[in-house]
Structure 1
Amino acid sequence: MIPDVTYPLDGGLRAASPRVLVGLALSLGLALTACGGEESPGADQDAAGQDAADQDPADASTDDGEQSGEHETSAEPFASADLADAVGNEVGEVTFSEVDAGVLVEVQVQDLESGFRGFHIHEHGACEPQSTNDDGDIGDFLSAGGHLPGEGEEDHGLVEGEEAPETDDAEGAEEAEAPDGDPQDAEDVQAGADHPGHAGDLPNLLVAQDGTARMSVVTDRLDPELLLEGDGTAVIIHAGADNHANIPERYAPQGPDEETRGAGDAGERSACGVVEGS
């Protein structure tokens, strides 16, 4: 407490007693100490901000000690395919990367007609316009062959709880569809009946009105050896949508026909790219 000081009526300052002077000195000392000991909240904030600015972003880490910039899907692609149309115009790229769940397939395209497009991996690493397939047919990119079979699937795309279509005699039906009753042709029909269970079967690609599309999908049906071994493989984008052999029974009481079971009625091949190792 600061002691009282009295002023006489004649305007002169009356001399203070020694006790008053000592009390005044102690009060001033305590006031100065209090002022010097307090730190401005703004100073703390400025110091914290400076520390954050000086920190290297690469050193930032999460509570579990892992760096926040790390991503589980940051693996470098082990293969890629440059897509081109039948006249050689580049229309996009597909990359393949290994991830925990299988292979990450990423596609980016441009300059295509809008709509859903069949998107598959085919069994031969060849993209020749006006080429011939094994049956002697001529067309764009037919040299790429059919869908990459892999180990195949026997469920024909059925989900849990869904019943498989009933057939009276599957073997007889296949032989009836084969031209001239050739047993070898019947075997080809059976081998092509796995759609959409081929290793190369993938979801449809949706092309926007501006002609571009992007898609990422992880599949456990592919691996580096399957894509790159032998004469390699190719990526095909079709002119139409793939129905994945999903034909309602009211339209086809006997089930999907040979063409549907083989390729999903996706139409002509609009773009192709050979899969090459990185």
Structure 2
Amino acid sequence: MIEILSPSELARARVTGRLVGDILAELRRRTRAGTNLLEIDAWTAQLIRESGAQSCYVDYAPSFGRGPFGHYVCTSVDDAVLHGLPHDRVLADGDLLTLDLAVLKDGVAADAAISFVVGERPSPQADVLIEATRTALAAAIAEVRPGARIGDLSHAIGTVLTGAGFPVNTEFGGHGIGSTMHQDPHVPNTGRPGRGYTLRPGLLLALEPWVMADTDELVTDADGWTLRSATGCLTAHTEHTVAVTEDGVEILTLPTSTD
């Protein structure tokens, strides 16, 4: 299913998107060495509840997971990159943490992810990975406009990631989003320009470049959810929900404050 949002639905999407951005920013502000992943999940549940929104994850049970997910935010550490199931783990200084959050408010969902290094210990390799995903996301967003093709966005992402020397996995990528979290069209993290679905005003896309330092192969934890690099290498993941507008693109999941 591909949804095209009306102007009133897009207005609601802006509210949901800003909420996702603000919750992620608040979680990052609170997280430090010594924080438990289960604390982050509890904070997320409280923030969602206080906002009058609903979690897209608690009851999420897709074919690829061992569902339902049962938690409010994905917490992926170091070699974990996607669908990290919160568990009893205390973060250490220098850990690379990815938080991935999707919520539904007033009938419209939004989805975003951030990667960052916990604490004060420098991690040059983590910084390179994170910057590659951010640059790839910016390149994809720059291609979003009416009449562009999904392949244009995928090509922009893949060009940045491979240009930085990283292999690209195409099992999981970006996706359409609207009244539900995951919709068509699928947005692979590499592709051929000029191919695929033609973008139209009112379409929402969750664009999410993610990368593993030295492999394109994933392995799944015994929890049935957490996806890790097959080699144990570091990973990173950055995501925004964007709207195709009449004259270009609008990023919906930016936080209220960028401080």
TM over 0.5: no
TM-score if structure 2 supplies the norm length?
0.24
Structure whose CA Rg is larger: 1
